[in-house]
Structure 1
Amino acid sequence: MPTTTPTGGGRRRAAASVPDLVARARDGDPRSVARLISLVEDESPLLREVMAALAPHTGHAQIIGITGSPGVGKSTSTSALVTELRRHGRRVGVLAVDPSSPFSGGALLGDRVRMQDHALDRDVYIRSMASRGHLGGLSWTTPQALRVLDAAGCDVILIETVGVGQSEVEIAGLADTTVVLLAPGMGDGIQAAKAGILEIGDLYVVNKADRDGADQVRRDLRSMLALADRPEGAWRPPIVKTVAQRAEGLDEVVAKLEEHFDWLQSAGELEQRRTRRARDEIEAIAVTALRSRWGDVHGRSELDELAAAVATGKSDPYTAADELLEAFTE
């Protein structure tokens, strides 16, 4: 696809190319996917048009968040999980959120050393995103980047966080399923209780299970999870041991992920989580706009209906935010 120049009417040509970019991305063209995510990261004026074009094609991918303390093997586990998912015939997207990456976009396949094995696989898309000074572990543009990968036909999207700050809480707000990684010898059993991750994890993975102490971490987790007050019929997070470097236990991880996704659908929880996620996204866009005009404001009840429309692909977050603003000014 020709590159748009910044002069001589370049913006008009870029605007005209949005439908083409979306069509190519939906056909699995990695360069078009990269361009769309770059528009997201750069807060392009075309972003509203992009989101509106993508909206009808979203809502199909299973979104899995992967978090845990630094050193537990998140990148290695993510790469091994990609391999296992590909073995099951899934198209996979990976968003790896870096804490202080200086680049603004354009990363294509294989930009993380541990994921080089997937660099030539056209059914795997890997993108690093800078957190851009965000205090938690996720960039504020991550929800919209997820929409790009969803519309591009990814069956599963993995979000790997840096595992610092409030990333654990944030990942639960973005993912259908949250995977929390722990490892022996790092005090993770105690840290799990302190950080409150027992409330947000849907699946716990004790990585580096060939090391001493792995069974103890698993016992500690099981004991703490048993103390959690869960209503009748609620999901009870399983604990899986893995050795990601040797791809051991990843088949069980995928099985549990599928089991959880089935439960989400049967229990009606998937729709609730996605609507809640869309509601938060709409509110963030609307509140940012309102703050720029009138200062800080509170959310409004119209968000619930608008969030449901966005979650089902009947609208996009920018159109919904505009409708919220109109309601606010009436």
Structure 2
Amino acid sequence: MSEADLLARFRSGDVRALARTITLVERRDPSVRDLEEALRSDASTPGVAGFTGAPGTGKSTLVDAVVTHLRGKEKSVAVLATDPNSPFTGGAILGDRIRMQRHALDGKVFIRSMGARGHLGGLSLATREAIRLLGAFGFDEVILETVGVGQSELEVAAVADTTVVVLTPNLGDSVQMIKAGILEIADVFVVNKSDLDGHARVAAELRAMMNLAPKRVWKPPIIATVATRQEGIEQLWSAVVAHRSHLEASGRAKELTEQRLRDETAEVAAELARRRARQALEDDPTLAERLLQDGTPYRTAEEILKRDANR
């Protein structure tokens, strides 16, 4: 399919064209630059809510319940579930789409598992670009779901307008997550599976930790949910909307948008530099040999960057 055909189908609302374009983004295909440039006039900014938490907290079920709630409000929703990659194919392997089959035939819902591509915390650079494409396609809301391991909690906060941290009773990792710096990045706390014993204790621990933490302008609410029964979902989404209103009123929303663009530019520059460095070492045996003789990368890296600067 030519770029012109893909662009025309994308603009006509063909969801397969959207899926194809996101695949090109994941593959880092150079043609994506021209597509994104052509779609700039169509771009709108969707709301972005990120859901993160330890494995086993029911994030996928919770996201599924939120999608149901938003569709009841006639909102179009895209879900990007960031999975670890298969080391053999590079593809996403958890398959969150399987867990959300009840939305499969809804044309106003788009669900996509995206591989982390080896990125440290799970959220790839491709996710940022995919969000822009989803806005251009016309989605009202984008929901990010991370694997909840490593540094993904911190990375979802760097991309999402609102970060929802999901905890659950009787899960040993919950308190560990709180201690690991989650208090600083959580905008909303959810105690899912609150029909289980121990949910009140988790909420009490959270309140105690927040009282000890430095005071913030926005105090994260703690919402109790039972996602399998759709309980607490309306209150959860109201908290997300309230946080967005706070960001707009305080001017923080504009600051975050500008900072994210700077961060993404730095990531793109780093990716381009990595690609050119590998290519330079392949193309110039003398450079590669000198690297091996030096035993450290700094001088060689500086030489590669100087070559690029002098082109």
Give the alignment's TM-score, normalised by structure 1. Answer: 0.79
Does residue 16 of the first structure (1) align with residue 4 of the second (2)? yes
The answer for the alignment partner of 1:148 in structure 2 is: 133
The alignment partner of 1:72 has SS state of coil
Give the drift of 1:161: 0.4
Q: After superposition, give the CA deviation of every residue in 1:278-310 in whole Å (9 maximum; x if it has no partner).
A: 111111112332444579xxxxxxxxxxxxxxx
Map residues 15-164 of structure 1 onto 2, 5 A cutoff.
Answer: 15-24=3-12, 27=13, 29-101=14-86, 112-164=97-149
Map residues 145-224 of structure 1 onto 2, 5 A cutoff.
Answer: 145-224=130-209
Give the drift of 1:79: 0.3
Does residue 235 of the first structure (1) align with residue 202 of the second (2)? no
Q: Is the Cα contact below 8 Å between 1:38 and 1:106 reproduced in 2? A: no
The answer for the alignment partner of 2:295 in structure 1 is: none
The alignment partner of 1:264 has SS state of helix
State the distance in 2 between where 1:277 and 1:180 align. 20
Gaps of 5+ in 2: 279-308
1:190–1:105 Cα change, 3 Å: closer
- Give the number of equivalent residue pairs: 281
State the distance in 2 between where 1:168 and 1:284 align. 18
Higher helix share: 2
State the distance in 1 between where 2:192 and 2:111 align. 22
1:226 aligned residue (206, 211, 218):
211
Q: Which has the larger radius of gyration?
A: 2
- Give the share of equivalent positions with the same residue, in percent: 46
Give the drift of 1:59: 4.3
State the distance in 1 between where 2:96 and 2:177 align. 30
Gaps of 5+ in 1: 5-13, 296-327
- The amino acid that maps onto 1:98 is D
- The CA RMSD measured in Å over matched residues stands at 2.5
State the distance in 2 between where 1:186 and 1:255 align. 26
Does residue 274 of the first structure (1) align with residue 262 of the second (2)? no
Q: Is the Cα contact below 8 Å between 2:92 and 2:114 reproduced in 1? A: no
- The amino acid that maps onto 1:119 is A
- The amino acid that maps onto 1:74 is K
1:195–1:235 Cα change, 3 Å: same
Q: After superposition, give the CA deviation of every residue in 1:103-138 in whole Å (9 maximum; x if it has no partner).
A: 66799xx96232011001100000111112233222
1:111–1:72 Cα change, 3 Å: closer
- The amino acid that maps onto 1:204 is F
The answer for the alignment partner of 1:302 in structure 2 is: none
State the distance in 2 between where 1:272 and 1:221 align. 28
1:286–1:153 Cα change, 3 Å: same
- The amino acid that maps onto 1:63 is V
Give the drift of 1:66: 0.5
Give the drift of 1:19: 3.0
The answer for the alignment partner of 1:265 in structure 2 is: 248
Q: Is the Cα contact below 8 Å between 2:169 and 2:196 reproduced in 1? A: yes
